[in-house]
């Protein structure tokens, strides 16, 4: 029995612009940017987009389909087949084309679906579509966001920063001054040697690009496609992301300032805009852009978007992997969910993909605007960073108001402040709050203070422990549609403004509203705390299949680059979004010198010439051991060595997986692309180990922990001579796991490097190949979080879950003539809240007889075809396809979720959660019930 129960979230609707024009589709919200505080259990952006049921008057959804090649399916006749097939189930639906995919690695289509029926199960639609002749697989369309680091709630204890002006970055003025990130990675040295990407074609796929700002005048843009409205104008005036990303890889122009220059400034670029102003992108739009770029023959694709965690069979992940194996280099972000294991995003978690993590800049650029404050006869200048949105009136004099009595505000979320003491003119008021603060409404839910109080402007001040490693702080907030302006200031400025407000509630602040009058200044401060170490926000591996990620680290923390003209053309932001174009640019430089290299060889040479970095605790304390491989992959990339090495390993990482799936040995080949024979000496270097679980039998991942205990491996042979143009094979076997006493219960992870040193050769042929593994089966990890899963009832009136005690009686009136047969006098429906610890390939929900333990109804089953989020609700309303009758009685919910790396044919490989008991009875008004039970 299936589809008896209903998801309980009703998504908002926003307008998507597709190849066929606008349509309304679920907007699940941001993943890594957007509202500064996102603590809802709906933590994955895929949640709302993959709800199987919508409680709206009509059903709207979208799907991606791959054809199997057995029939002559096209986008149009697929739509006809979908409509016919659904009609046989009594559904009145219209399917309309979104995209048609014709690349050799992925042939298929995506379509919108609108049904006049009020209840439609997404799972049923997927099953129907997958039953059509010629369809290989179908998935729901999901929303995807860029991986910008935008967390206001950082509270790192770094101490004080060290200031140092670096005039080399102040301006170019006809002299090409090098960026710190270029110097540290060898890119500046390559530029001096005329390795600039010339002859290489790179696609940058992002939100849109303000190519009219200073720094792009000499960029070779060979092609442009705006997929949001299907024209060639990719300019973007509503976001900064694509403009900043493009500058990192491509910037070139005599008018450029602050030393901003792309990693591969002489490459030819193809630009693809895949995000409209009023929403995120979608996986089918991204698939289409990837396929189009590859079909046009680009050498590399740089895309800084990611969407939750998915298995390799996810369609976007599959397309990216296939393109990579077909000859197109693909660079994607590891994500900004760090520190800690299992924090990556897809498709960077896919097989073979170059997943890029972030390092902090050794120089933090503070690019600030001028303002001033007045309080009676006191006043003075302030420096600030404008955020997004930023739409202030000219000559503004905003009245300062703050909820804070003390400048060091609580870091835990507080109830919204009382509006009783607010200034009279709220439209001319600015809130002063700490970056560490967040608020809740009366129900305990997250709340926007600007939205709640009706104040359109806010100034955030840094916390006392904010340092140069955190940077100047550019922030975006989309939680309040009426918010007009955000600015951030340093801690001492916050102290000054708060003191002024407390002495005089009529105190004012002026913030320059335009770049032309902002007296923009750049101050460069040396980051002696975390520079060239892994950024604390950078996501860690492993992948959901236990594989290694990220592949490599590249600069991403506090990068200055091109920005929309509204902000003066330059800005400083952080994220693996910035690391991706940096690494993709280096891939372009390698391609320039080695046009015969395959994507696998480019990937391997970048990963293995990288420099493994030591463990930095994120507070500036550096340990004398290497950071975990799951944090850094091959290490901090070395562009010079990647371009000049004549030694190529045909892999970028080795995985010993978990103890249940461990190979006896692994092997790799060493290829000598030089002109003389090279003798290599091979050895082992250990890296830090750790645990996945914070405590045994718990539901919390460790957050950035590392222990100086190591695995050991044997490398055979220890010395090998490789003739020019030849390859030789090396075997690696795990001989000892690290000594971690709770390895079996908390699931240990480990890693290290096989060191390959060329005898008598330069550093360019001294490589390190990373490996990873686990000290227990990954199936040891829980899938269902029992501490936050619970028996609940769904309040249909308020559309919210309510936790309930056992033995609650639900008196149902059942009328099978209605679309929704079950109703309850108090509008409370029996249900279950399911919180997942980690993603699962297979999840089923059952109603179980409380006395016999028999599964009397299977409500929902999902596989990796239909994406499952981290948490959601399910409730029963009797509206399955057959309106199957559930007899009166006592029941529990049983949830089964497949464990990681586990065989689904074995019952023990499922994590099983059971709720407390609830009671179902029927009123005398129940009519037309079907007493046939199906199991």
Question: What CATH number does domain 364-520 carry, 3.50.30, 3.10.620, 3.90.25, 3.30.450?
Answer: 3.50.30
| Predicted confidence (pLDDT) at residue 704 exceeds the cutoff of 50 | yes
In CATH, the number for domain 790-922 is: 2.60.40.4070
Q: What pLDDT shows up at residue 871?
A: 66
Q: What percent of the chain has pLDDT over 90?
A: 72
Domain ranges of the chain: 10-146, 166-362+527-644, 364-520, 645-778, 790-922
Q: What pLDDT shows up at residue 91?
A: 83
> Whole-angstrom Cα distance, residue 34 to residue 39?
12
Report strand pairing: 439-440 vs 457-461.
unpaired
Q: What pLDDT shows up at residue 41?
A: 21
Which residues are annotated as catalytic? 206, 241, 577
| Model confidence band, residue 927 (pLDDT cutoffs 50, 70, 90) | low
| Model confidence band, residue 155 (pLDDT cutoffs 50, 70, 90) | very low
Q: What pLDDT shows up at residue 236?
A: 81
Q: Which residues contact 846 (CB under 8 A, 6 or more apart)?
A: 855, 856, 857, 858, 859, 893, 894, 895, 896
Average pLDDT of span 371-384: 96
Q: Which H or E run includes 448?
A: none
**Spelled out in words, what is the top-level CATH class assigned to the domain 166-362+527-644?**
alpha beta
| Model confidence band, residue 677 (pLDDT cutoffs 50, 70, 90) | very high
Q: Which residues contact 875 (CB under 8 A, 6 or more apart)?
A: 5, 6, 8, 793, 794, 829, 830, 831, 832
535-546, pLDDT tens digit by residue?
A: 999 999 999 999
Q: Which residues contact 660 (CB under 8 A, 6 or more apart)?
A: 777, 778, 779, 901, 902
In CATH, the number for domain 645-778 is: 2.60.40.10
Q: Which residue has the tokens 């500036």?
A: 620
- Of 910, 909, 912, nearest to 895 by C-alpha is 912
Please answer whether residues 635 and 609 qualify as being in contact, where contact means their C-beta atoms are separated by less than 8 angstroms: no
| Predicted confidence (pLDDT) at residue 809 exceeds the cutoff of 90 | yes
User: What Cα–Cα distance (Å) separates residue 762 from each residue in 677, 683, 757, 767, 768?
Assistant: 14, 18, 9, 11, 14
Please answer whether residues 815 and 828 qualify as being in contact, where contact means their C-beta atoms are separated by less than 8 angstroms: no
Q: What pLDDT shows up at residue 42?
A: 22
Establish whether domains 645-778 and 790-922 are of one fold: yes
| Predicted confidence (pLDDT) at residue 270 exceeds the cutoff of 50 | yes
| Predicted confidence (pLDDT) at residue 64 exceeds the cutoff of 60 | yes
| Model confidence band, residue 149 (pLDDT cutoffs 50, 70, 90) | low
| Model confidence band, residue 50 (pLDDT cutoffs 50, 70, 90) | very low
Supply the DSSP string of 145-162, one letter for each residue: EE-----TT---------
Q: What pLDDT shows up at residue 31?
A: 28
Q: What pLDDT shows up at residue 118?
A: 64
Q: What pLDDT shows up at residue 172?
A: 35
Please answer whether residues 274 and 174 qualify as being in contact, where contact means their C-beta atoms are separated by less than 8 angstroms: no
Q: What pLDDT shows up at residue 784?
A: 95
**Residues linked to residue 305 through DSSP beta bridges, in sequence order:** 146
Average pLDDT of span 659-686: 96
Which of 17-21, 403-407, 488-492, 784-788 has the least mean pLDDT? Answer: 17-21
Please answer whether residues 209 and 271 qualify as being in contact, where contact means their C-beta atoms are separated by less than 8 angstroms: yes
| Predicted confidence (pLDDT) at residue 163 exceeds the cutoff of 80 | no
- Of 808, 780, 812, 608, nearest to 693 by C-alpha is 780
> Using alpha carbons only, what angle is made at residue 407 by residues 404 and 409, rounded to the nearest 5 degrees?
65
Q: Which residues of 341-355 are buried (b: 16+ CB within 10 A; e: fewer)?
A: bbbbbbbbbbbbbbb
Q: Which residue would you say has higher pLDDT here, 644 or 926?
A: 644
616-658, pLDDT tens digit by residue?
A: 988 789 999 999 999 999 999 999 999 999 999 989 999 999 9
Q: What percent of the chain has pLDDT over 70?
A: 87
| Model confidence band, residue 176 (pLDDT cutoffs 50, 70, 90) | low
Average pLDDT of span 251-258: 93
560-592, pLDDT tens digit by residue?
A: 999 999 999 999 999 999 999 999 999 999 999
Average pLDDT of span 713-733: 97
Average pLDDT over all residues of the chain: 87
| Model confidence band, residue 49 (pLDDT cutoffs 50, 70, 90) | very low
Q: Which residues contact 745 (CB under 8 A, 6 or more apart)?
A: 693, 696, 697, 776, 780
How is residue 928 written in tokens? 């037309």
| Predicted confidence (pLDDT) at residue 3 exceeds the cutoff of 60 | no
856-896, pLDDT tens digit by residue?
A: 877 666 665 555 556 677 888 886 545 678 899 999 999 99
Q: What pLDDT shows up at residue 883?
A: 66
Supply the DSSP string of 20-61, one letter for each residue: TEEEEEE----SSSSSS---SS--STTTGGG-S---SSSEEE
Average pLDDT of span 697-726: 95
Please answer whether residues 328 and 599 qualify as being in contact, where contact means their C-beta atoms are separated by less than 8 angstroms: yes
**Residues linked to residue 226 through DSSP beta bridges, in sequence order:** 231, 273
Average pLDDT of span 527-539: 95
Q: What pLDDT shows up at residue 5?
A: 35
Q: What pLDDT shows up at residue 763?
A: 83
In CATH, the number for domain 10-146 is: 3.30.70.80
| Predicted confidence (pLDDT) at residue 711 exceeds the cutoff of 80 | yes
| Model confidence band, residue 45 (pLDDT cutoffs 50, 70, 90) | very low
């Amino acid at each position: 029995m299936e589809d008896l129960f209903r998801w309980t979230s009703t998504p908002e609707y926003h307008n998507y612009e597709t190849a066929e024009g606008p349509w309304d589709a679920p907007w699940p919200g941001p993943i890594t940017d957007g509202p500064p505080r996102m603590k809802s259990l709906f933590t994955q952006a895929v949640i709302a987009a993959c709800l199987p049921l919508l409680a709206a008057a009509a059903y709207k959804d979208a799907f991606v389909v791959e054809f199997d090649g057995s029939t002559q399916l096209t986008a149009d006749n697929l739509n006809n087949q979908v409509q016919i097939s659904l009609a046989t189930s009594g559904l009145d639906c219209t399917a309309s084309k979104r995209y048609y995919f014709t690349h050799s690695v992925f042939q298929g289509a995506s379509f919108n679906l609108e049904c006049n029926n009020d209840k439609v199960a997404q799972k049923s639609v997927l099953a129907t579509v997958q039953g059509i002749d010629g369809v290989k697989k179908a998935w729901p369309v999901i929303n995807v966001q860029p991986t910008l680091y935008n967390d206001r709630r950082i509270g790192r204890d770094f101490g004080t920063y060290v200031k140092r002006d670096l005039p080399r970055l102040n301006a170019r003025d006809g002299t090409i001054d090098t960026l710190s990130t270029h110097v540290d990675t060898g890119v500046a040295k390559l530029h001096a040697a005329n390795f600039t990407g010339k002859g290489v074609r790179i696609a940058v796929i992002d939100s849109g690009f303000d190519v009219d700002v200073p720094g792009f005048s000499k960029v070779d843009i060979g092609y442009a496609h705006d997929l949001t409205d299907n024209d060639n104008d990719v300019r973007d005036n509503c976001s900064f992301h694509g403009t900043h990303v493009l500058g990192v890889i491509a910037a070139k122009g005599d008018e450029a300032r602050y030393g901003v220059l792309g990693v591969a400034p002489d490459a030819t670029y193809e630009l693809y805009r895949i995000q409209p102003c009023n929403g995120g992108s979608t996986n089918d739009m991204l698939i289409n852009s990837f396929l189009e770029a590859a079909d046009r023959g680009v050498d590399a694709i740089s895309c800084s978007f990611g969407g939750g965690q998915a298995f390799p069979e996810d369609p976007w992940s599959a397309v990216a992997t296939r393109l990579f194996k077909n000859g197109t280099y693909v660079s994607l972000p590891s994500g900004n969910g760090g520190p800690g294991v299992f924090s990556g995003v897809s498709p960077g978690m896919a097989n073979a993909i170059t997943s890029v993590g972030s390092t902090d800049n050794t120089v933090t650029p503070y690019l600030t605007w001028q303002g001033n404050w007045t309080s009676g006869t006191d006043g003075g200048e302030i420096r600030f960073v404008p955020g997004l949105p930023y739409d202030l009136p000219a000559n503004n004099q905003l009245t300062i108001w703050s909820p804070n009595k003390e400048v060091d505000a609580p870091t835990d979320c507080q109830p919204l402040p009382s509006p009783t003491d607010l200034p009279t003119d709220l439209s001319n008021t600015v809130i002063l709050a700490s970056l560490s603060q967040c608020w809740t409404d009366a129900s305990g839910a997250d709340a926007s203070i600007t939205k709640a109080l009706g104040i359109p402007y806010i100034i955030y001040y840094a916390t006392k422990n904010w340092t140069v490693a955190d940077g100047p702080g550019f922030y975006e907030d989309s939680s309040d549609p009426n918010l007009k302006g955000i600015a951030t200031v340093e801690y001492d400025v916050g102290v000054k403004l708060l003191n002024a407000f407390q002495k005089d509630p009529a105190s004012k602040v002026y913030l320059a509203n335009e770049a032309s009058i902002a007296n923009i200044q750049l101050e460069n401060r040396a980051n002696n705390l975390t520079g060239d170490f892994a950024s604390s926000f950078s996501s860690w591996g492993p992948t959901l299949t236990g594989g290694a990620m990220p592949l490599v680290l590249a600069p991403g923390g506090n990068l200055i680059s091109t920005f929309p003209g509204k902000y003066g053309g330059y800005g400083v932001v952080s994220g693996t979004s910035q690391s991706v174009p940096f690494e993709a640019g280096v891939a372009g430089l390698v391609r320039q010198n080695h046009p015969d290299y395959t994507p696998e060889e480019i990937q391997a040479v970048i990963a293995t010439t990288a420099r493994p970095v030591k463990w930095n605790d994120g507070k500036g304390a550096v340990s004398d051991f290497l950071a975990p491989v799951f944090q850094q992959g091959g290490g901090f990339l070395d562009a010079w060595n990647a371009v000049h090495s004549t030694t190529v390993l045909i892999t970028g990482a080795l995985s010993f997986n978990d103890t249940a799936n461990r190979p006896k040995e692994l092997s790799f080949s060493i290829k000598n692309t030089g002109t003389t024979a090279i003798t290599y000496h091979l050895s082992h270097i250990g890296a830090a180990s750790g645990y996945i679980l914070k405590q045994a039998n718990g539901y919390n991942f460790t957050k950035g922990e590392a222990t100086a205990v190591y695995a050991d491996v044997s490398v055979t042979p220890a010395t090998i001579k490789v003739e020019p143009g030849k390859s030789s094979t090396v075997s690696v076997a795990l001989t000892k796991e690290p000594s971690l006493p709770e390895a079996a219960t908390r699931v240990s992870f480990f890693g290290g490097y096989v060191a390959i040193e060329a005898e008598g050769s330069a550093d360019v042929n001294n490589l390190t190949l990373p490996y990873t593994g686990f000290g227990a089966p990954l199936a040891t990890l829980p899938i269902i979080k029992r501490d936050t899963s619970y028996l609940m009832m769904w309040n249909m009136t308020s559309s919210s879950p309510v936790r309930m005690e056992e033995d609650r009686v639900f008196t149902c009136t059942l009328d099978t003539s209605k679309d929704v047969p079950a109703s309850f006098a108090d509008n409370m429906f029996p249900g279950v809240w399911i919180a997942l610890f980690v993603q699962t390939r297979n999840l089923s929900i059952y109603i179980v007889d409380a006395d016999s333990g028999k599964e009397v109804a299977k409500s929902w089953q999902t596989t990796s075809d239909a994406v499952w989020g981290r948490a959601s609700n399910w409730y029963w309303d009797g509206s399955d396809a057959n309106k199957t009758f559930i007899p009166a009685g006592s029941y529990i919910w049983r949830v089964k979720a497949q464990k990681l790396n586990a065989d689904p044919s074995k019952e023990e490989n499922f994590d099983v959660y059971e709720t407390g008991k609830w009671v179902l009875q029927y009123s005398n008004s129940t009519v037309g019930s079907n007493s046939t039970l199906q199991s």
